Structure 1
Amino acid sequence: MLKQVPLICIVLSLYALATTVASLNQEGLYLYQFKLTLEDPDSRLSSWNPTDTTPCNWYGVRCDSTNTSVTELDLSDTNIQGPFTASILCRLPNLSSINFFNNSINQTFPLKINLCNNLVHLDLSQNLLTGPLPETLSLLPNLRYLDLTGNNFSGPIPFSFGTFQKLEVLSLVSNLLEGTIPPSLGNLTTLKMLNLSYNPFFPGRIPSELGNLTNLEVLWLTQCNLVGLIPDSLGKLKKLKDLDLALNDLYGSIPSSLTELTSLRQIELYNNSLSGELPRGMGNLTSLRLLDASMNHLTGSIPVELCSLPLESLNLYENRFEGELPASIADSPNLYELRLFGNRLTGKLPENLGKRSPLRWLDVSSNQFWGSIPASLCDLGELEELLMIYNLFTGEIPASLGTCQSLTRVRLGYNRFSGEVPAGIWGLPHVNLLELAHNSFTGSISKTIAGAGNLSLLILSENNFSGTVPDEIGWVENLVEFSAGDNMFTGSLPDSIVNLGQLGILDFHNNKLSGEMPKGIGSWKKLNDLNLANNEIGGKIPDEIGSLSVLNFLDLSKNQFSGKIPHGLQNLKLNQLNLSYNRLSGELPPQLAKEMYRSSFVGNPGLCGDLKGLCESRNEVKNLGYVWLLRTIFVVTIFVFLVGVVWFYFRYKNFKEAKKAFDKSKWTLMSFHKLGFGEDEILNCLDEDNVIGSGSSGKVYKVVLGSGEAVAVKKIWGGVKKEVESGDVEKGRVQDNAFDAEVETLGKIRHKNIVKLWCCCTTRDCQLLVYEYMPNGSLGDLLHSTKGGLLLDWPTRYKIAVDAADGLSYLHHDCVPPIVHRDVKSNNILLDGDFGARVADFGLAKVVETTGKGIKSMSIIAGSCGYIAPEYAYTLRVNEKSDIYSFGVVILELVTGRRPVDPEFGEKDLVKWVCTTLDQKGVDHVLDSRLDSCFKEEICKVFNIGLMCTSPLPINRPSMRRVVKMLQEVGTEKQTKPAKKDGKLSPYYYDDASDHGSVV
């Protein structure tokens, strides 16, 4: 409630204001009135002083030559918030330019914008505007530039947008626009740039009428849900310089009419379903700098005429091209990017490739190239990435590559290379990935590896490397993976190897290593995989191995280890343990004396434990010592036996009835992917030893299949309706059947960041859901455990946030109709072995159904305390904005390390606690103290995104698509920024498809 102010106070205040601004001219009064409608948290408008006579010296204001009338208003990137009050700004008679780029201008677009008759330039991009695009915009008679990129506009593009009189630039990128691209846009003959990219339009064709835009220079229709053929009429756009139709579902051949566009500098057609050959006449495109037709179904050979063009970037990867690479490609003087992986190309690489061109990125992986590596690849000193895996290359690595200081990634695996690796290759200072696996390399690791200060992944498996591992390996402090299995390394592991504090994988299986394990391996705090199987290593297994808290895979089998098994091993959460065929002795640690580990200890004659096959000779001595005890209890045993028979009869009767539920002949299996297992393998493993958790609708089991693959099985008994679990809000009983919701949702969607449902099995009394197994459990369990700070450093948390956001964005924007999860929380975000995130638990998921009154209401509240959006709690209306609020809470969890509800907060939840603490004490008292301070700037940016998502007003929350974009922008800012074209990321900024998951 507002306090009542006496009338006399109001009068006095107005009088004081009128006295203060008496000298300010009329246009200044209008601008000052506009300022009062805004929030200015950074005080960027502090220079807007009402005591001035004119606003022409104010920040962001430009006036005419007489310095009396306002012509331009540029408040871009000032963090101002509030509505766009055109009714005020349009009173400025000579205002020709408005630029509010990258602010928080919200609410809907004002209809009175048509009053700004002199407006030429209008930029409201990267704001929070919502609602439909106003039809009245086309009434602005002088408008030439209109940019509404990165807002939340919805609905179709109005037909009236085809009636602008002088418009030259129209950009509506990254909104929520629907419908199809209207043919009326073909009437805008003055248009020079049309950019409608990244909108969830309904499936539709490219209007042939766009061929009438004869002044068009830029046409970007990236990811617009386009289908059908590329119209021949685009060949009439003689002034076109940039054509981008990527990320659609266009099919058919590339029209030959495009070869008549002699002004074209850039063609991007990647990620469609185009087929046929590249059109003849490509040599006519004498201005072409970039051609990207990757990820299509193109066939034929690579035309020789392409090599006559001044190409800088050629991307034709993941097609079906055959034949040899034209030798004349080596004569292209500007070529810096050549990506051809995933085709059927053969022959040798041109001998002079790189001699005349500044090659920076070369990827010819997954083809059938043969011959040697051209020695000239780095002659101009620009080469950064050399990717040649999965080919038939032979010969040695040229010595010239050992001096290529610009190299950052080298992948030569899965070829037929031989000979010794040049010493210079081992020590290249900027290389972060060196993969030489599955070749016939010989020789040893050079001591020059001490200079490889940036090396993160060293993969040498399946070669003929020999000699000892040099002490200098301990200098490579950024090493995360060292895989050298199936070689002929000898000697002991150097003591310096314990200096590799970032090491996550150490694999030297099938070598000839000897000696003992180095002392100090407790420094491998991030080690997840240790495989030294089939060597000749002796001595004791170090006690320190029990302190490696994240160790998941341990294989020391077929060595010469002796002594006792360290008791600390039983504290580890190992998915695989193998100590077989050594010389171990003594008692097994109690927690390891389980049947599931029996094969892990075979071949150790002196090892004793209560497992079949271990130390059986000791049983005879044990029996002699207990003879007197057996005689004493014989009579008692007979009595217990009789009582037991009676008890067993009734127990067995009940067991038979329960077993009917698991009669394998009565199970119905429904698969959603190609399976390599049957229901028998699943049913045989559903015992209590395999339970890994229990949720709101049943128990979850880990089942290891015969193939060695693990799956997670959720068992729901009796078709029980899902009830809210402990800690969840309970208001009656949730009526949605969890099983049906999971099957209905996960059975039809496919996304890398949504947990995969392999199949479901049902009987009358029991239902099973079989998912992919997530070895690192849920984000909530891991984040709030004692290991959270150790395992989840900031880069890992950031990756989890981006993955989860991507999964939710798919549900909201790419599913038709959209799906609302309704139970987004950290416990429903699962983590795979690489801490990749999957959104899970769709038992409450709902398809969004609209009614005449808006979003359909739910009958009860469903969700979890601390995650429920405020409007959902009191209106029961569910939509995507509810999920966005919940995801914002997850972001705050990642940033603060705190739970969504905590006794420390009192009656507050995490959101309220964060806002209060931030206001009273500052950001340092909110951020998780376990996170490295070097990431503070990036953490704060993600923190701000979380605050936006948890805004009390749903209209102020960004869409999930916008959230994904903002998170990705945080990540790209800390890297070397890719090439941009008028603010748009170049399409070749990606991790190579040929990298098979190895991202550095």
Structure 2
Amino acid sequence: MAVRSVSALLLLFSFFCFLPAFAGALELPVPVSEEVLGLVVFKAALQDPTAALASWNEADASPCDWAHVRCDAGTGRVARLALDALSLSGPLPRGLDRLPALAALSLSDNNLSGPIPPGLSLLPKLRFLDLSRNAFSGRVPQDLALLPSLLSLDLSSNAFSGPLPEALFSAATCRSLRFLSLAGNRLDGPLPVAALSRCSLLLHLNLSSNRFSGSPDFASGLWSLSRLRVLDLSFNAFSGAVPEGVANLHSLKILRLNYNRFSGAIPSGVGLCLHLTALDLSHNSFDGSLPSSMRYLTSLTSLRLSNNQLVGDLPEWLGNLTAIRQLHLSNNKLTGTLPTSLGNLKELNYLGLSSNHFAGSIPDKIAECTKLTELHLKENKLNGSIPPGIFNLSLQVLDLASNAFTGAVPAGSSWISETLQFLDLSDNNLTGTIPPEMALFFGLRYLNLSWNGFRSQLPPELGSFRNLSVLDLRRNALYGSIPVDLCESGSLYVLQLDGNSLSGPIPEEMGNCSSLYLLSLSHNNLNGSIPPSISRLKKLEILNLEFNNLSGEIPPQLGGLDNLLAVNISHNRLIGRLPVDGVFQSLDQSALQGNLGLCTPLVTEPCKMNVPKPLVLDPNAYLPGFANNMPNLSYPASTMPVRRRRFLSASSIIAISAALIIVLGVLVVTLLNVSARRRMGLPEKAPESTCSSSSRSAGPAVGRMVALGAGCALKIDELNGGAEALLAKATELGKGVFGTSYRAMAAGDGSIMMVKRLVTANIVQYHEDFDREVRILGKVTHPNVLSPRGYYWTPHLQLVLSDYAPCGSLHSRLHERDASVPPLSWPERFKVVLGTAKGVAHLHQAFRPPIIHYDLKPTNILLDGDCEPKVSDFGLVRLLQKLDKHVASGRFQSSMGYMAPELACQSLRVNEKCDVYGMGVLMLEVVTGRRPVEYGEEDVVILIDQVRALLEQCNVAECVDVSMGEFPEEEVLPVLKLGLVCTSQIPSSRPSMAEVVQILEVIKAPI
């Protein structure tokens, strides 16, 4: 029987050996490739919801044309398998062991789970293995040590557990390993430092966010890895002192030991790692002072030592670290004064010194750190006045709370007004008034001036903070009434005005604070009733009105506030019943006591109800008989007053007198306006006249064409028949938010210009104002901006002239293209996107205050003969008298789809981020060729949502306009993602236009 088996095996072996020779003669099918078979087996065991592996067909002779598969050009064998972010799930299947030439395998960003099968160790040429960001579990397999060519191993962000096996770092593996990351797992126990030390060529070691513990022997282990450039042991449970020896890491650039339990002094050898750019020892228990050797770390850009037990003064040599950008020393026990050498840190953008024991004043030289965006000095013992120079920086966060600062708050410059988002000056000794300049801090989100000595009225401009979320003005000496437009922006979450001397009623407009969840107005002198409009605050959780003079009944509608958790209305003059619903039925006595008569057993005062009072009638206005017949108004005959006939009552006389005064006032104002217009030379109907080279030198250019820059603008008469012919319907190009554009040809030289007729509603009424603003726009010189060349002005007609773009608008090329006009190619589209971004960035950066377009969309992007974009219609909002919510809501409705949410919500003021939103929509429209809002038969398709959904499904091809032909996915995909970032609903989450330009330039020429 055994002999038969052996004979059968030999026969079968001979058959397979001679099979290729007979295949041609017998016309047998060619056998399936081993690599095809292996990949088909691999695919079959995976769940592929997006059909990313649909091209993997077992009928193919070779897998080299399959998606995500790359073959070696010389051998034709599979060399790379890149399956990143394809939503694949299931356990890691077998089959990859049939790819003997595989050098790179990447399965990151999927949902693969379970343990790693042993087959991977059978890939002798595997050099790069990336299984990060999945759900793999179990132990880290030891057989990975059998990969002799492995250079990079990334198992981060999975669920591996248990100790790290020493066998993983065998001599065979470590002789080639350069990159190792096991971060973000559940590995525990001590580090196998002795085994790790064998990896002498290791450049990057990341073991962060695990559960490693113990006191590792750095001196004999990790410190011997002299080629290390990155060492990250953060977010573990290491303890004990860090021994000396770190100086052996001559090439180290990044050292992170934060969020552990290290103690003792910071090793002085750290200062001898001269190439360090980032050092993070925060959130440990290091004590002692800063080692003086750190003065030599001149390449350091980030130093994080916060949340330790460091003591001593802040050394002057910190000023030698001139490359540093982030300095975190908060939550220590540092003492002394702030060194003036901090002003030498010209690259510094973050300075955190909070929660220490610093004393003295803030050195004025800190204002020389011109790139500083965040300054944290709270909870120290600093005193003196706040240096005015700090308010001249472009700060985003300024936190000086809980110190002993005195004096007034400095007036802010235009720089800080544009950038500041967080301001906390609470718990100091500041006095004076709240600076009215704070109304210009348009981006402010958090404002806390509580526990100071400010004595002033609440500035009415507080309603101008369109992004303000937290307003805390407690415990000052503020007086007057609460501004009615305090909630105009609708973004306020927290409003605390307790402990002041505010008076008057709670404004009915308080119901406009639709986002409010904490309203606290206690310990003031507020009177009147609680406005029923508070019932519109559906998100309200805490309502505190105690210790005021509020009267009347509690509006029953407040019981409908489902989210209301806590109410305190004690010590007022409230009467009547409590609302029957909501939290009011569960209030305790302390929240209700001290009122006149609430109808509840929790208070001892007698219950009082508001009932209609009897109407008191004037007996003089009626006949005696009528008065005698009224039971409650009986008079003795001897005291009955004699009735005298009146033609007008006292109230009527007062009303008529007031009306006469109003009419007289209107007449006086009208006469003054007529007189002023005559003095300015503005007739009721301005005649059209000849060209004037300078409206300033020749008087008001009423009805005249005014040139901007060199040369003389054309006469209206030369533009083919005057203003009426110029604005004929046949020459119309399109309509926009601010007016209608026309194409005009000069009679003299035949040159073509574009003329925009502005809408007259709400446009500035005086020529000097109009001239000043248009001349500012005329100073814009940029190859991607279409600046005004001149204008024509009368009180009833305003025209702005600029160069004509022969290729029309971007909108017409995308959506209204003639069949004879070729579609825009990808290089042309990218040129349009980049050029538009550069033009808008110039408007934002080159002027103070920045010129904001407000209406950025393809119809306002014009193309010249080389498809170079020209941003038009910019800055016309400057010609408006006032951009209030009514004007905004009316003007920008035509830009639906491009309009930023803050404009759609009728915010009073917006910043440059509304242009970034429009730029993001424009990028998506250029790539996809679709309109921002498309109306179907049954639904409405929003381009932003559609692109986001397609990208989540990895369907980049469906996002791209097919008419543009071939396109590089490595450029198109980042542009789409950048467009989605620019269209974030939160303005602060959008990049600046300068950053957009930088990103686009990197996309075009990656580094």
TM above 0.5: yes
Distance 1:531 1:412, change over 3 A: same
Q: 2:192 aligns with which of 177, 182, 187?
A: 182
Aligned residue number for residue 370 of structure 1:
383
Distance 1:101 1:206, change over 3 A: farther
Equivalent residue letter for 2:273: L
Query: What is the deviation of 1:935?
Result: 12
Q: 1:536 aligns with which of 544, 549, 552?
A: 549
Cα shift readout 1:129-155 (whole Å, capped 9, x = no counterpart): 222222221221111100011222222
Query: Whole-Å Cα distance in 1 between the matches of residues 28 and 93 of structure 2?
Result: 24
Aligned residue number for residue 299 of structure 1:
311
CA contact (8 A) 1:401 1:425 kept: no
Query: Whole-Å Cα distance in 1 between the matches of residues 383 and 117 of structure 2?
Result: 64
Cα shift readout 1:188-238 (whole Å, capped 9, x = no counterpart): 110001111111124332532111111100000012211111121211000
Query: Whole-Å Cα distance in 1 between the matches of residues 554 and 115 of structure 2?
Result: 68
For the aligned residues, what is the CA RMSD? 3.2
Q: 2:452 aligns with which of 432, 439, 448?
A: 439
The answer to whether 1:70 aligns with 2:78 is yes
Query: What is the deviation of 1:568?
Result: 5.3
Aligned residue number for residue 918 of structure 1:
none
Counterparts of residues 594-673 of structure 1 (less than 5 Å): 597-598=602-603, 601-602=604-605
Query: Whole-Å Cα distance in 1 between the matches of residues 67 and 312 of structure 2?
Result: 59
Query: Whole-Å Cα distance in 2 between the matches of residues 570 and 257 of structure 1?
Result: 62
Cα shift readout 1:279-332 (whole Å, capped 9, x = no counterpart): 012111111011111111110111211222111001111110001111121221
Aligned residue number for residue 482 of structure 2:
469
Distance 1:159 1:579, change over 3 A: closer
CA contact (8 A) 2:532 2:558 kept: no
Q: 1:107 aligns with which of 109, 114, 130?
A: 114
Query: What is the deviation of 1:571?
Result: 5.5
The answer to whether 1:207 aligns with 2:218 is yes
Counterparts of residues 355-754 of structure 1 (less than 5 Å): 355-377=368-390, 379-381=392-394, 383-400=395-412, 403-426=416-439, 428-563=441-576, 565=578, 567=580, 572-574=585-587, 578-584=591-597, 588=599, 592-593=600-601, 597-598=602-603, 601-602=604-605
Distance 1:576 1:142, change over 3 A: farther
Query: What is the deviation of 1:545?
Result: 2.8
Question: What SS is found at the alignment partner of 1:471?
Answer: coil
Query: Whole-Å Cα distance in 2 between the matches of residues 97 and 555 of structure 1?
Result: 66
CA contact (8 A) 1:76 1:100 kept: yes
Distance 1:81 1:562, change over 3 A: closer
Distance 1:568 1:132, change over 3 A: closer
Query: What is the deviation of 1:380?
Result: 4.6
Q: 1:261 aligns with which of 227, 250, 273?
A: 273
Aligned residue number for residue 89 of structure 1:
96
Aligned residue number for residue 241 of structure 2:
229
Question: What SS is found at the alignment partner of 1:431?
Answer: coil
Query: Whole-Å Cα distance in 2 between the matches of residues 165 and 42 of structure 1?
Result: 40
Cα shift readout 1:887-917 (whole Å, capped 9, x = no counterpart): xxxxxxxxxxxxxxxxxxxxxxxxxxxxxxx
Query: Whole-Å Cα distance in 1 between the matches of residues 452 and 950 of structure 2?
Result: 46
CA contact (8 A) 1:427 1:449 kept: no
CA contact (8 A) 1:21 1:50 kept: no
Q: 2:123 aligns with which of 113, 116, 125?
A: 116
Query: What is the deviation of 1:936?
Result: 13
The answer to whether 1:167 aligns with 2:177 is yes
Query: Whole-Å Cα distance in 2 between the matches of residues 481 and 260 of structure 1?
Result: 49
Equivalent residue letter for 1:195: N
CA contact (8 A) 1:106 1:129 kept: yes
Query: What is the deviation of 1:536?
Result: 2.6
Query: Whole-Å Cα distance in 1 between the matches of residues 62 and 589 of structure 2?
Result: 76
Equivalent residue letter for 1:327: T
Equivalent residue letter for 1:176: R
Equivalent residue letter for 1:506: L
CA contact (8 A) 1:20 1:50 kept: no
* Alignment: residue pair count: 594
Cα shift readout 1:719-760 (whole Å, capped 9, x = no counterpart): xxxxxxxxxxxxxxxxxxxxxxxxxxxxxxxxxxxxxxxxxx
Query: What is the deviation of 1:350?
Result: 2.1
TM-score (norm 1): 0.56
Distance 1:405 1:295, change over 3 A: same
Query: Whole-Å Cα distance in 2 between the matches of residues 569 and 123 of structure 1?
Result: 55
Query: Whole-Å Cα distance in 2 between the matches of residues 21 and 122 of structure 1?
Result: 36
Distance 1:607 1:493, change over 3 A: closer
Query: What is the deviation of 1:419?
Result: 1.1
Equivalent residue letter for 2:110: N
Question: What SS is found at the alignment partner of 2:519?
Answer: strand
Equivalent residue letter for 1:174: G
CA contact (8 A) 2:510 2:533 kept: no
Question: What SS is found at the alignment partner of 1:400?
Answer: coil
Aligned residue number for residue 40 of structure 2:
32
Query: What is the deviation of 1:104?
Result: 2.3
CA contact (8 A) 2:392 2:413 kept: no
Aligned residue number for residue 864 of structure 1:
none
Query: What is the deviation of 1:474?
Result: 2.8
CA contact (8 A) 2:69 2:81 kept: yes
Aligned residue number for residue 163 of structure 2:
156
Equivalent residue letter for 1:348: S
Distance 1:939 1:295, change over 3 A: farther
Aligned residue number for residue 242 of structure 1:
254
Distance 1:50 1:411, change over 3 A: same
Query: Whole-Å Cα distance in 2 between the matches of residues 343 and 937 of structure 1?
Result: 49
Distance 1:57 1:517, change over 3 A: same
Distance 1:563 1:33, change over 3 A: closer
Question: What SS is found at the alignment partner of 2:342?
Answer: helix
Structure showing greater radius of gyration is: 2
Query: Whole-Å Cα distance in 2 between the matches of residues 376 and 302 of structure 1?
Result: 22
Equivalent residue letter for 2:515: Q
Query: Whole-Å Cα distance in 2 between the matches of residues 331 and 570 of structure 1?
Result: 57
CA contact (8 A) 1:525 1:550 kept: yes
Equivalent residue letter for 1:498: G
Query: What is the deviation of 1:261?
Result: 0.3
TM-score (norm 2): 0.56
Question: What SS is found at the alignment partner of 2:121?
Answer: helix
Unaligned runs of 5+ in 1: 1-18, 609-933, 943-969, 980-1000
Query: What is the deviation of 1:378?
Result: 5.0
Query: Whole-Å Cα distance in 1 between the matches of residues 945 and 487 of structure 2?
Result: 26
CA contact (8 A) 1:361 1:385 kept: yes
Aligned residue number for residue 208 of structure 2:
197
Query: Whole-Å Cα distance in 2 between the matches of residues 82 and 543 of structure 1?
Result: 57
Equivalent residue letter for 1:364: L
Question: What SS is found at the alignment partner of 2:259?
Answer: coil
Distance 1:570 1:528, change over 3 A: closer
CA contact (8 A) 2:412 2:438 kept: no
Query: What is the deviation of 1:562?
Result: 4.5
Cα shift readout 1:949-1000 (whole Å, capped 9, x = no counterpart): xxxxxxxxxxxxxxxxxxxxx9xx9987899xxxxxxxxxxxxxxxxxxxxx
Aligned residue number for residue 982 of structure 1:
none
Distance 1:516 1:179, change over 3 A: closer
Distance 1:504 1:104, change over 3 A: closer
Query: Whole-Å Cα distance in 1 between the matches of residues 433 and 339 of structure 2?
Result: 30
